[in-house]
Structure 1
Amino acid sequence: MKKYVGHISLFCASFIWGVNAPLTKNTVAAFDAVGSMNNAVDPLTHSLMRWGGAMVFFWILSFFTPREKVRKKDWPKIFWAAMFAVVCNQSGAVFGLLNASPVNISLISSMAPILTMILAAFVLHEPLTGKKIFGVSLGALGAVILVFAGRAGSAASGSMFGDFMGFIAMLSFVLYLTLFSDIIERYSPVTLMKWLFTFSFIVGLPVCLPFAVEINYGSLTVSFWWQMLFVVFGATFLAYFLMPVGQKVLRPTVVSMYNYVQPIVATLLALMMGMEQFNVLKLFATLLIFVGVYFVIKSKSRAEVLQEHGLE
Structure 2
Amino acid sequence: MNVRLLALLAAFSTAVIYGASYTIAKDLMPVFIKPHALIFFRVIGTAILFWLVSFFIKREKIERRDYGRIVICALLGTSVNMLFFYKGLNTALPIIASAIGVATPLMVFVFSLIFLKEKIVKTRILGLIIGLIGAFVLITYKQDLEGDSGAIIGNFYVFLNASFYGLYLVIVKTLLVKYNPIHLVKWMYTLSIFIVLPFSYKEILLVDWIAMPRPIYFELLFIIVFTTFINYLFNLFALTKLKPTTVSVFVYLHPVFASAYALLVGSDSLSVVKVSITLIIFIGVYLVTKPVKTTTVVK
| TM range, smaller chain | 0.7 to 0.9
1:24-59 Cα shifts (integer Å, max 9, x gaps):
001011xxxxxxx5xx11122211110111011000
Deviation, structure 1 residue 181: 1.5
Partner of 1:27: 28
Secondary structure of the structure 2 residue equivalent to 1:127? coil
Aligned pair in 2 of structure 1 residues 12, 192: CA closer, same or farther (>3 Å)? farther
Aligned residue for 1:232?
224
Q: Offset of 1:179 from its aligned partner? A: 2.3
Contact 1:9/1:246 (<8 A) preserved: yes
8 Å CA contact retained: 1:112, 1:259: no
Q: What's the CA shift for 1:222?
A: 0.7
RMSD value, Cα: 4.2
Percent identity over the alignment? 24
1:157 equivalent in structure 2: 148
Cα shift readout 1:81-135 (whole Å, capped 9, x = no counterpart)? 0111011111111100113345663564344332222221232233343454566
Letter in 2 for 1:166: V
Q: Which residue of 2 aligns with 1:34?
A: none
Mapping of 1:1-312 within 5 angstroms? 12-29=13-30, 40-102=32-94, 105-106=97-98, 108-133=100-125, 155=146, 157-159=148-150, 161-243=153-235, 250=244, 259-270=251-262, 272=264, 298-300=290-292
| Counterparts of 1:121 and 1:85, CA distance in 2 | 19
Cα-to-partner distance string for 1:138-186 (whole Å, 9 max, x where unaligned): 77789899x79xx976646341542442233122111101222111332
**Taking structure 1 as reference, are residues 15 and 125 closer, same or farther at Cα in structure 2, changes over 3 Å only?**
farther
The 1:295–1:205 alpha-carbon spacing in structure 2 relative to 1, beyond 3 Å, is closer
Q: Distance in 2 between matches of 1:158 and 1:102?
A: 16
Does the Cα contact within 8 Å between 2:107 and 2:162 map onto a contact in 1?
Answer: no
Please tell me the residue identity of whatever aligns with 1:220.
M
Q: How many residues align?
A: 290
CA shift digits 1:64-86 (9 cap, x unpaired):
12222212111111111011101
Distance in 2 between residues matched to 1:268 and 1:218, nearest whole Å: 32
- More deviation in 129-138 or 76-85? 129-138
Aligned partners of 1:189 and 1:241 also within 8 Å: no
What 5-or-longer segments of structure 1 have no aligned partner?
30-36
**Higher relative CO (CA 8 A, sep ≥ 6), structure 1 or 2?**
2
Task: Indicate if the aligned counterparts of 1:184 and 1:247 stay in contact, CA closer than 8 A.
Answer: no
Q: TM-score, normalised by structure 1?
A: 0.73
For 1:212 and 1:111, locate their aligned partners in 2 and report how far apart those are by CA, in whole Å.
31
Shift of 1:205: 2.8
Whichever residue aligns with residue 16 of structure 1, its letter is I
Q: List gaps (5 residues or longer) in structure 2.
A: none
For residues 5 and 79 of structure 1, what CA distance do their matches in structure 2 show? Answer: 34
- Give the stretch that moved more between structures: 19-28 or 209-218: 209-218
1:184 partner amino acid: L
2:188 counterpart SS class: helix
Code of the aligned partner of 1:122? I
Q: Deviations over 1:194-219 (max 9, x none)?
A: 11110001222344234323422122
Structure 1 residues 277 and 206, CA, compared in 2 at 3 Å: closer, same or farther?
closer
Report if aligned partners of 1:99, 1:158 keep a CA contact under 8 Å in 2: no
Secondary structure, counterpart of 1:115 in structure 2: helix
Give the letter aligned to residue 23 of structure 1: I
